[in-house]
Structure 1
Amino acid sequence: MDRPFVFITIPLAIGIILSYYFSFNIFIIFMLIILGVGTYLLNLIRNSSNAIILFFIMVVLGVSLGTYNLNSSILASRVDANIILSGTVDDILWKEDGQGKYIIHINGIEDKLIHSKVDEKIVLKIIGEKNIELGDEISFTGKLKKPLENTNPMLFNYRLNLLSNKIHTTMTIKDYSIIEINNMNKSFMYRAKANFRKTIGTIFDNNLNTENSSLMKSIVLGEYSYLEEENIEKYRNLGLAHILAVSGLHIGIIAGALIYVLSYLGVNRKLNIIVTLSIIWFYGYLIGFPPSLLRANIMFSIFFYAQTLAEPYDSINALFFAMFILLIINPMWIFNLGFQLSFIATFSIIYFTPKIQKIFYPYNNKITYTLCGLLGVQIGLLPIQAYYFNRLSILSIFSNLVIAPILSLPLIIGAIMIGFYYSVPILIPLIGNLLNLILSIQFKLVNILYKFPFGIIKFYSPRIADIILYYILMLAIFGVIKIDKVGLSIKKVIIYYLSILLLFNSIMLLIDKSIEIQFIDVGQGDSILISTKNGSYLIDTGGNIMDSFDVGKNITLPYLEKMGINKLKGVFITHFDDDHCKSLPLLIENIKINNILISYEDNTSKIYNEIKNKTIPLTILKENDLMWLDNDTSIKVLSPNEELIKRGFEGNNLSLVFLLSYYDKKILFTGDMEKEVEWRLIDKFERPIDIIKVPHHGSNTSSTEELLSKIKPATGIISVGRNNFYGHPRKEIIDRYEELGTKLYRTDTMGMIKVKLDKEDIDIIPFIQDDLNVIDILNENLLILSFYAIYYLLSYILIKNYLYFETELTINELQ
């Protein structure tokens, strides 16, 4: 086996991914391992091939490692209980405005006077003024919480992000909950970390302007938190985010500079390598060993080791060896964005770049080599960048060609400044002036490129199947998958097969008249996306009322972008409370909106006054207005009317209320209407409805018995925030619906609720469901799996028969 670590690492990663998305029984895992090992030994005795069995064993090993890490937390079993914890401040995430967030390495827990030793980390947020530094020993009391997962598809998953750093729990406390802080017994390593960060801050803050200092601290320490969010977005959109993370580029520059300097000083080769490796590994420790740096250090160590022993060095095998080691250390790193970008970018450089260089063979030079490397990285990272960032930069290659070399020089100059700080500090201001100039030029270039028209393309988040298909296509284009070795007959079969499949899918798309309604989880508020064949519509935009969390920036806009929605045919604003419309200005700035549809004018509303001056048509809908969303989908406005407006009703009772009709399906959208409006709507319903958007988030001022007994909704959907200040939904309202037999879905417990309607059925699919068990999934999807099994079996039989008859015809012709 030429590259053994490629073969064993890929199934290991597959197993880890499976362990996160499906629940596995420990006993079953154990039995599968015994079965795999037994079969492997039996095949050794028989001299049979073990490739498939080894692949299977590594998948099961990945499942077992992932399952263990997901269930290994002692603190997770103490969630919501008052406990006393003690530990060491392992990292400071941020400190500002009388509060801070820290990673605490917990070593002790006191629960009901029982003291236990533990060894895991938590994220601790402290509200109040406390001087807490790296390496301080701290004890405190509070309630542990499990971090929230994403409650809308494809959005940021905070829990998974923390799990990728082996953190299972969080805690938020006031400063008076801290029992003791001890800063007298810090270990050497914590003191070294703290001094290094302090030194970096002192050097750059004292000798560079604020913007340049923030950039250098971000580059050297590998932390985005030093940079303004606007600058992070610029680098990310220009494809330069890798510059801000400590990666192989940084380690290569540092290691290369060290090797050169030590060689110049006459240090022998072996000692030179030992010193260089020692420095880059110690540097890794000082900044917390991010996976990208750990990957680079492992590969450099193998490279230098191979050079020292004059052994061959296989960079791809070394890359997968590094991945194997990292996944053994922390299996959840597979979900870390830095891990994914680092390994995919490195593989792309190693594998795709030489093949691209062959295309430009007659024009080989340093610029061409650089361009080929950048192109290789872009090819490798394209779907990953699209999935996470939804933006692809046309200027990415050019910006990397211009900006990356400029920033390589500051990294070397910064390292020199750090060295001179301990040896010749008098020269630091002079070097700082030079560094300031280079970084300022760099920022000017970034700003110019960022403002370049049509420089950035917005892109939807591709599905996993799309990403896999993309990489298969790239591997085929670059010759990893040898298409030329496939016989002409099989190529014909593949083309016929794909043509039929394409035709079948096209027909299905043409005859599919279904629509989707997605109740996006925006916390305490409403935002509902309606997708029809003619376009997409949004009912309300969500928006925070009191919390500093920006719903539009973090949920509504990112979700629409990930769905590939850059245009809305209409945005309905039911009323002008912040939790229904505050995110509208942000959407107007980033998405093309054809129409804004409201039910009344509100000159006291900041949002209304802002949108009425826009160029987007503003339409006021009135009672009995009828609007067609597509050929089969219409809405009829039920409220408000002129009488309600003249009587001085405002806010909730002027909510836009309408009935959506799709064939014989009826869905009632209610905004925040209250009982005064509900009573006057009762006579407008001729028959029961299928779904009601429960009015006013389940408040007891709405959902009257009179209305519900008339419309008898089969399903109710409540858009409501977790643990909200208002106590929504009220228990008596939930009981009222359940007494009628209405099945309730809630965004606070189920996340986004997707409603799919076709002519015959209504499917309601909550995003958050119970833990998926493999056996249960097989049972629930037995019919679908059977269909695909028969489908592919028939395909195989048809292909075999085609090849057989073609061979027979050829033989007969020859005879």
Structure 2
Amino acid sequence: MRRMFTTSAAPEFPPRPYLPPAAAGAAGALVAAALGLEFGWRSYIASDSGAPGQTAFAVLAVSCAVGILCIFVRPFWGEGMRRWARWLGIGVVLGAASATLGTMWRASAHERMENIVASACIFEIEGDPSISSYGVQHTARVMSADGAVLGRVRLDADSAYEDGTRLRLVGRASGLPDSAWGRSRYMAGEVARVSAVRIVDSESRAIGPIEALRARMLDVIQPDASQARALVAGIVCGRTTELDQASASEAFARTGTSHLVAVSGSHLALVTSLAQVFLAFVGARLRTRYLLLVLLMSSYVILTGGSASAVRSLIMVGLTLVASWGERRGHGISALALTTMALVARDAGVVFDVGFRLSAVSVLFIQLFYRYLSYLLTRLGMPRPIAEPLSLTLCAQWGTLPITIPIFGTCSIVAPLANLVLGPVMSALLVVGLVSVPLAAIVGPLADVLLAPADALASISVFGAQAFAGFPYASIAMAASPATALPYLAACVVYAAWLDASRWQVAVVCAAIPGALAMHLVRWTLFVPASVTVLDVGQADAILVREGSAAILVDAGVDSEVADALARNSVFQLDAVVITHWDLDHYGGLEDVLANVSVSRVVVAEGALDAMPEELAALDMPEVVELGEGDALSVGGFACTMVWPEGPVEGSDNEDSVALAVRYDSGGCALDMLLAGDTEIAQEERYAGRVGDIDVLKLGHHGSAASVDAALMAQMRPELAIASAGEGNSYGHPTKECIDTVEASGARFLCTIDVGDVTVRPAQGGFSVSTER
């Protein structure tokens, strides 16, 4: 008798997912809405009262014309092309109309807000507060004394107020600044900024049963008690105010697992699954079950704050339930397209909501490539229990990288592994939390006992995120560039080709991607050529000195621009950050540097440590070292010698600023450069003799009139002078006097305003200079 053996079936090559014409409608709606609001923002900045309405109508007219042309395409086009064109036209008209209404509403609200007296208005808080090193901020709806809504503003206050709180206050109103932050607030529907000087009165309005339940659940959780409790509040109630202030938030960001906290489709899927099990257990009829599921999901979205990504998930799941109710098979990409169009119609500003963009793109890539990647990984020999969740993570990261890199300036290397490990734990935390937290809110005295399992799972999640974040190069800084769009180009190629690759071909691709990343890391951590780069960081100073694996940063700019500058120069670690003195434009970006780059120590002038600003003293700082005149830092072949100040200083004034003589002499290449910090002629005259003849002068104090004179130029004889200054700065830096003095000496003059980053490299018989924006 022949023995029969059973073997596991080989994975079946998946068909290419169908891309419906509705996708063209979603794309048209997104583009038209984005363009319309962008024009509205530029009109807002121009402060031309007639421009917003004119711009809105112009955008609407042009977009509608394009949309109508697409809808009524010529009859000789193929039926398939006509369907795509019609959907595109519908999307363009819808997006343009929504953007037009949104722009006009913002324009009228801005006009109303220009004439308000803050003390005569009522400010009603919307959503959870945002707490950062810059203070406490809220979105607030402004109402007149008779209850008429005037508009939405960004409210700064000394204390955090909860959703629904109504405030009377004395404060100052101002327009939104022309910055990335101001633009983001405009797109979110806010038209002004109000700083509360004094809160006169506050009261909580009557809230509904769902909001009351949320408030009670947060009281029981006590999110400020620990990082674990803050995570429970984030996952179960959608409140991340406390988690955003905790170190665990940075760990989740570095490991690419922040999306596990945000309310998304996976949360709703778990909620739906739990409810379906319960409703099936009690024997509810099918249609009753669907209605209750929609009601439950809607309540959960409200409970967690109603973010755009959560609403997107709710509509998509609702469409799936409707399809099942009608005994039709659901189609994820079609549901995503229709959902996107509905959200754009509701509010064009959703196009600029980061949470929505990340959620929608990750869902799209999962729908398109999940089965394909899972098939390839399984064919490579990976077990399905690992291949399938890993495919989900890879698809999500593939789709969101071109969005996260420009916004956050980082790329998480450990994200696939971290998601594979932490995903199940945090899903379990959601399930346990959804059961235990409401019970704890009802029972009260047994709250700590009921919350113990959720607390334990949250603690494991925080520990795991921090452990993964501690891996070398867990997250690397990356700057936006044309190459950032390569993942989308690769997606188009993969979708168009849809090849059934062999095992060795899959292995080659799987090895090539991490291999290329490893080569990039090795190149920029071990084999960097000798260079000094004056970074373009606005009206501030930041100079990068490096060779091989050694690098130091002299001054840390004024804000997050310095982190962006380090990212575009592929800097992953620093041996030291030298803070020349305690002016904000020289130390203000240090917190961002420490958050994005590994720093071994911070160096200040002798005596300056005691005067360190309070905001820096509160940071988790590395070792802080004081150096005096004549002390030197070695950076590869560079010797950076402190030539000023001559003795202990407080470090608060320009005359206290550190000046470094940077010299390089190796392999026949030489460079002499002076980094003058904020020192001016009076100080430079005292140390110029010790510096001697130099090749390059980094001008002191951003090229002010007192930064250099003809005598100093003749004494130091630089061939190149570089100033770092910000475009449109109120000081007029670099001044005409400084530029004329430099050029009269025969030296070449460069400024970061005009050319961006300026890099000087030692060379045989001289030095080379390159610039990059």
Structure-1-length-normalised TM-score? 0.67
1:219-298 matches, cutoff 5 A: 219-227=235-243, 228-298=245-315
Q: Which of 33, 41, 44 is 2:63 aligned to?
A: 33
**1:103 counterpart SS class:** strand
CA offsets 1:63-117 (integer angstroms, 9 cap, x no match) = 67557645624454577877233342223405799985332112339xxxxx995
Q: Does 1:103 align with 2:135?
A: no
Q: Does the 8 Å CA contact 1:682/1:707 hold for their aligned counterparts?
A: yes
Q: How far is 1:295 from its partner?
A: 1.1
Change (3 A) 1:469 1:52: farther
**1:311 counterpart SS class:** coil
Q: Does the 8 Å CA contact 1:653/1:674 hold for their aligned counterparts?
A: no
Q: Does 1:729 align with 2:734?
A: no
| Structure 1 match to 2:153 | 122
| Structure 2 match to 1:782 | none
Q: Does the 8 Å CA contact 1:595/1:619 hold for their aligned counterparts?
A: no
Change (3 A) 1:267 1:426: farther
Q: How far is 1:269 from its partner?
A: 1.1
Q: Which letter does structure 1 place at the counterpart of 2:62?
A: L
CA offsets 1:628-686 (integer angstroms, 9 cap, x no match) = 999xxx9999x9489x669999972664277999x9x9998542223423566999999
- Aligned partners of 1:60, 1:713: CA distance in 2, in Å? 59
| Structure 2 match to 1:396 | 415
Q: How far is 1:203 from its partner?
A: 2.8
Q: Does the 8 Å CA contact 2:22/2:87 hold for their aligned counterparts?
A: no
- Aligned partners of 1:101, 1:592: CA distance in 2, in Å? 30
Change (3 A) 1:354 1:106: same
- Aligned partners of 1:74, 1:149: CA distance in 2, in Å? 19
Change (3 A) 1:421 1:703: same
Change (3 A) 1:588 1:397: closer
- Aligned partners of 2:136, 2:316: CA distance in 1, in Å? 36
- Aligned partners of 1:533, 1:58: CA distance in 2, in Å? 52
Q: Does 1:300 align with 2:332?
A: no
Q: Does the 8 Å CA contact 1:203/1:417 hold for their aligned counterparts?
A: no
Change (3 A) 1:91 1:695: same
Q: Which of 156, 163, 185 is 1:162 aligned to?
A: 185
Q: Which of 464, 476, 489 is 2:493 aligned to?
A: 476
- Aligned partners of 2:701, 2:97: CA distance in 1, in Å? 46
- Aligned partners of 1:40, 1:328: CA distance in 2, in Å? 19
1:295-444 matches, cutoff 5 A: 295-359=312-376, 360=378, 365-420=384-439, 428-444=447-463
1:650-669 matches, cutoff 5 A: 652=655, 655-656=658-659
Q: Does the 8 Å CA contact 2:660/2:675 hold for their aligned counterparts?
A: yes
Q: Which letter does structure 2 place at the counterpart of 1:93?
A: P
- Aligned partners of 1:586, 1:40: CA distance in 2, in Å? 47
Q: How far is 1:304 from its partner?
A: 0.3
Q: Does the 8 Å CA contact 2:32/2:63 hold for their aligned counterparts?
A: no
**1:267 counterpart SS class:** coil
Change (3 A) 1:108 1:721: farther
**1:239 counterpart SS class:** coil
- Aligned partners of 1:106, 1:586: CA distance in 2, in Å? 33
- Aligned partners of 2:420, 2:684: CA distance in 1, in Å? 63
1:67-106 matches, cutoff 5 A: 69=102, 72-77=106-111, 83-84=117-118, 85-93=121-129, 100-106=136-142
CA offsets 1:762-809 (integer angstroms, 9 cap, x no match) = 9999x9xxxxxxxxxxxxxxxxxxxxxxxxxxxxxxxxxxxxxxxxxx
Please, which moves more after superposition, 337-346 or 666-675? 666-675
- Aligned partners of 1:442, 1:513: CA distance in 2, in Å? 42
| Structure 2 match to 1:602 | 606
Q: Which letter does structure 2 place at the counterpart of 1:216?
A: V
Q: Does the 8 Å CA contact 2:469/2:475 hold for their aligned counterparts?
A: no
Change (3 A) 1:712 1:34: farther
Q: Which letter does structure 2 place at the counterpart of 1:83?
A: V
Q: How far is 1:4 from its partner?
A: 2.4
- Aligned partners of 2:591, 2:271: CA distance in 1, in Å? 46
Q: How far is 1:735 from its partner?
A: 8.6
Q: How far is 1:333 from its partner?
A: 2.6
Q: Does the 8 Å CA contact 1:136/1:182 hold for their aligned counterparts?
A: yes
Change (3 A) 1:757 1:147: farther
**2:678 counterpart SS class:** coil
Q: How many residues align?
A: 684
Please, which moves more after superposition, 27-36 or 260-269? 27-36
Change (3 A) 1:260 1:592: closer
Q: How far is 1:518 from its partner?
A: 2.6
Q: Which of 150, 164, 173 is 1:144 aligned to?
A: 173
Q: Does the 8 Å CA contact 1:392/1:458 hold for their aligned counterparts?
A: yes
CA offsets 1:166-221 (integer angstroms, 9 cap, x no match) = 22322112225x4x5454xx35xx34465233211233239x97333222111122
Change (3 A) 1:124 1:46: same
- Aligned partners of 2:292, 2:650: CA distance in 1, in Å? 80
**Identity across the alignment (%):** 16
Q: Does the 8 Å CA contact 2:67/2:92 hold for their aligned counterparts?
A: no
1:518-533 matches, cutoff 5 A: 518-521=535-538, 526-529=541-544
Q: Does the 8 Å CA contact 1:5/1:324 hold for their aligned counterparts?
A: no
Q: Which letter does structure 1 place at the counterpart of 2:606?
A: D
Change (3 A) 1:202 1:35: closer
Q: Which letter does structure 2 place at the counterpart of 1:142?
A: G
Q: How far is 1:377 from its partner?
A: 2.8
- Aligned partners of 2:181, 2:649: CA distance in 1, in Å? 47
- Aligned partners of 1:532, 1:692: CA distance in 2, in Å? 19
Q: How far is 1:254 from its partner?
A: 0.7
Q: How far is 1:243 from its partner?
A: 1.7
| Structure 2 match to 1:112 | none
Please, which moves more after superposition, 531-540 or 402-411? 531-540
Change (3 A) 1:739 1:196: farther
- Aligned partners of 1:357, 1:587: CA distance in 2, in Å? 38
- Aligned partners of 1:734, 1:752: CA distance in 2, in Å? 17
Q: Which letter does structure 1 place at the counterpart of 2:249?
A: I
**1:13 counterpart SS class:** helix
Q: Which letter does structure 1 place at the counterpart of 2:659?
A: L
Gap regions ≥5 residues in structure 1: 110-114, 151-156, 485-511, 544-550, 768-815
Q: Does 1:13 align with 2:20?
A: no
Change (3 A) 1:440 1:138: closer
Q: How far is 1:715 from its partner?
A: 9.8
- Aligned partners of 1:197, 1:530: CA distance in 2, in Å? 52
Please, which moves more after superposition, 527-536 or 208-217? 527-536
Q: How far is 1:606 from its partner?
A: 5.5
Q: Does 1:560 align with 2:594?
A: no
Q: Does the 8 Å CA contact 2:70/2:85 hold for their aligned counterparts?
A: no
| Structure 1 match to 2:20 | 3
1:732-811 matches, cutoff 5 A: 754=757
| Structure 2 match to 1:677 | 683
Structure-2-length-normalised TM-score? 0.70
| Structure 2 match to 1:809 | none
**1:138 counterpart SS class:** strand
Q: Does the 8 Å CA contact 1:720/1:729 hold for their aligned counterparts?
A: no
Q: Which letter does structure 2 place at the counterpart of 1:463?
A: A
Change (3 A) 1:250 1:653: closer
- Aligned partners of 1:64, 1:668: CA distance in 2, in Å? 57
